[in-house]
Amino acid sequence: MSVLARPCSHEGIRWRPTVTVEKYSVDQTAWAERRLARIGTAFIAHLGIGVGCLHGSWLRELFPGGPEDGYAHDEGNSMVNGGLTNVINLLTGAAPSGAAGRPLSLATGGSAAGSPCVGVGTDGATAFNASQAHLANASGEGSANSWYQSMDATFPTLTTPATINGQSTFAAGAANFSWLEWCWVAGAGVPTSGAVLASVYATAGSACMMNRKIPAGGLGTKMSGAAWVFATTTVFS
C-alpha cells in the first residue's frame, strides 16, 4: 500500500508593499506652489487636510490628468533586523526602548509627533543586508545621497483587515538625486525631514529603519523644482 506524503505548509506573516511614485513636473510643481501661497493656511475640508505644504492627495486633485513626468512602480522588499525587532516588541507589548517598539502611528503624518517617514537614497549597488540601519551605506548619508521625509498629513491609513497605506510628498528642494533605494521609518517625537536618519526624530535614538529595498532599474532621477509623491500600499497576509 502506498502512502501519499502530505504537502508541507509554510506558516508566517508576509509583508508585501506595492510602490507608486507620481512624478509632477517642474511646471506643475511651480503652479501648485503659487496656488498654495494664495490659499495660505486654509483647510481643504473635503480632503481633511490643512494646506501648509504640498500634499500628494491635493496634487492629484489639482492635476486630474496625472503627473506630466509619469510614474514609477516597485513591489516587494525585505525587512532589516531593526524593523523585525520593532515589530516583535510591538506584538509582545514590550515597552519602547531605543529604536524598538516604535509604531507606525495612524494619521500622524504632516510632521506630527510619531509620524512615520519614507526614506529614499542613491545607493543601488550595496546589496541588502539585514544588519543595515540606514540608507546610502556606500556613499554615506547626506543631502545628495539620502532623504527621509515625513508622511503626509492624514497618513498612514489602515484598510482593514491588513493593509497599511503610506504617502510622502517630496517637494521641490528635497531628494533631488537618483532614487535607487527606499525604506519606511518609525520613531518617537516630532520628525524633521532630513538627510541623516539619526537626526530626523526629536527623541534621540528612536529612529528605526523598518526595511530596505533596491528597485530593479531604480525609480528615476528627481530634478530640482519637481515634486514627487511616494505612495505605498503594504499588505500583511
Q: What is the pLDDT of residues 157-181, one digit of tens each?
A: 999 999 999 999 999 999 999 999 9
Query: Are the C-beta atoms of residues 118 and 149 closer than 8 Å to each other?
Result: yes
Are residues 85 and 96 in contact, defined by beta-carbon separation less than 8 angstroms? Answer: no
Comparing CA positions, the residue from 59, 67, 197, 48 lying closest to residue 110 is: 48
Confidence (pLDDT) at 12 = 60
Per-domain residue ranges of the chain: 77-236
As a whole number of angstroms, the distance between CA 120 and CA 193 comes to 12
Task: Map grid coordinates 530593479 to a residue.
Answer: 216
d(CA 109, CA 90) in angstroms, rounded, equals 20
Rounded CA gap, 156 and 115, in Å? 8
pLDDT, tens only, 55-92: 999 999 999 999 999 999 999 988 999 999 999 999 99
**pLDDT tops 90 at residue 15:** no
Give the predicted TM-score (pTM) of the model: 0.92
Q: What is the pLDDT of residues 180-210, one digit of tens each?
A: 999 999 999 999 999 999 999 999 999 999 9
Out of 10-14, 47-51, 56-60, which region has the weakest mean confidence (pLDDT)?
Answer: 10-14
Tell me 217's DSSP state: T
DSSP string, 69-104: T-EEEEE--EE-HHHHHHHHHHHHTPPPBTTBS---
- Give the type of residue at 20: T
| Higher-confidence position of 205 and 47 | 205
Question: Which pLDDT score, from 0 to 100, does residue 171 have?
Answer: 96
Instruction: Kindly state the helix (H) or strand (E) to which residue 59 belongs, with its residue range.
Output: helix 56-62
Q: Average pLDDT for residues 129-144, to the nearest whole number?
A: 97
